[in-house]
């Protein structure tokens, strides 16, 4: 094996696993080349974050991830002055570090952030590609390789938690959903380290639960939950017990709903459900 083959193998080993569903990797790569920001929409646990991690590794760019929340302010992203023994010093926030370094900045569940926070993204998400910092008087041009990526779960959208048109129309959009059964099977088998039959049972359970409409579930079973259940099985936990803990009890706190889901699980898995 020559040095180039060795480097290629090392890169493959360091790239987070991701099973492509339909051209999203190529679209993301083209957006990167064209310096376009990307908005990723999809339900909880469908692979949005893993996809961004995978693409950052493929493109050879550092990745800075911010998990957005209700208290996230513009200062949390951009930076602030900190008190030290010698006075005050400026400390860059994660967005500013990404702009300076030419990293991919990923804002996960961006609609959870405070409304005034997304305004700082506007000059970065259009042709200007600059980040004005009012408190220092700087206007930082994005270094080569910088890319802005945001995500959110449309299922949680309401009047109070949605992106304004002036924000979302600066991004190209990628729509994610749970993978097709054959793709999800590969993901569960690979990520959980279980055999094909176990992966098939887990994916079959997911398909059955996702078809339920009479149960008042805020979210249905995600690929992430299937992987968690599979990891329990791989560690020696019985499949019904793993599904009860990682899927059913994770989806609901309502006893009647949990009992109904457990009946579906017992039918699909062909094994006695956990008590």
pLDDT band at 118 (very low <50, low <70, confident <90, very high): confident
Q: Which residues pair with 108 in a beta bridge?
A: 67
Q: Are 77 and 120 in contact (CB under 8 A)?
A: yes
pLDDT above 70: residue 12: no
CATH topology of domain 3-175: Rossmann fold (3.40.50)
Q: In the 8-state DSSP scheme, what is residue 16?
A: P
pLDDT (0 to 100) of residue 9: 39
* Per-residue model confidence (pLDDT) at position 25: 97
pLDDT for 212 equals 85
126-136, pLDDT tens digit by residue?
Answer: 999 999 998 88
Strand positions, DSSP E, the chain: 38-41, 63-67, 79-84, 87-92, 104-108, 130-133, 138-141, 147-152, 172-175
pLDDT band at 271 (very low <50, low <70, confident <90, very high): low
Tokens (6 digits) for 95: 């967005």
Tokens matching residue 148: 């802005």
The residue-averaged pLDDT of 17-46 equals 95
**DSSP H helices in 154-254:** 165-168, 181-192, 196-210, 223-234, 239-243, 249-251
d(CA 187, CA 178): 11
pTM over 0.75: yes
Measure the CA–CA gap between 228 and 246, rounded to whole angstroms: 6
CB crowding 248-264: b at 16 or more within 10 Å, else e? bebbbeeeebbebbbeb
Q: Hunting for tokens 């924000």 — which residue is that?
A: 167
CA Rg value for the chain? 22
pLDDT, averaged across the chain: 89
Residue 54 — very low, low, confident or very high, per pLDDT cuts 50/70/90? Answer: very high
CA distance 229 to 155: 24
């Amino acid at each position: 094996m020559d040095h180039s083959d060795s480097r290629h193998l090392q890169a493959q080993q360091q790239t987070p696993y991701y099973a492509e569903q339909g051209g999203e990797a190529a679209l993301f790569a083209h957006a990167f080349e064209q310096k376009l920001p990307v908005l990723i929409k999809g339900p909880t646990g469908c692979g949005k974050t893993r996809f961004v991690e995978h693409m950052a590794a493929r493109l050879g760019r550092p990745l800075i991830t911010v998990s957005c929340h209700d208290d996230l302010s513009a200062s949390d992203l951009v930076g602030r002055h900190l008190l030290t023994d010698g006075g005050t010093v400026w400390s860059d926030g994660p967005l500013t570090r990404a702009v300076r370094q030419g990293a991919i900045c990923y804002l996960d569940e961006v609609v959870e952030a405070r409304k005034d926070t997304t305004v700082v993204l506007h000059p970065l998400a259009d042709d200007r590609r600059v980040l004005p910092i009012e408190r220092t008087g700087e206007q930082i041009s994005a270094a080569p390789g910088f890319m802005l990526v945001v995500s959110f779960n449309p299922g949680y959208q309401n009047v109070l938690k949605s992106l304004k048109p002036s924000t979302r129309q600066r991004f190209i959009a990628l729509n994610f959903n749970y993978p097709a059964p054959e793709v999800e099977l590969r993901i569960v088998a690979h990520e959980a380290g279980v055999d094909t039959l176990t992966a098939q049972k887990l994916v079959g359970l997911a398909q059955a639960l996702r078809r339920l409409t009479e149960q008042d579930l805020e979210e249905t079973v995600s690929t992430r939950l299937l992987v968690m259940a599979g990891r329990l099985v791989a560690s020696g936990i019985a499949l019904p017990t793993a599904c009860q803990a990682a899927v059913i009890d994770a989806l609901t706190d309502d006893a009647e709903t949990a009992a109904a889901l457990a009946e579906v699980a017992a039918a699909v898995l062909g094994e006695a459900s956990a008590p």
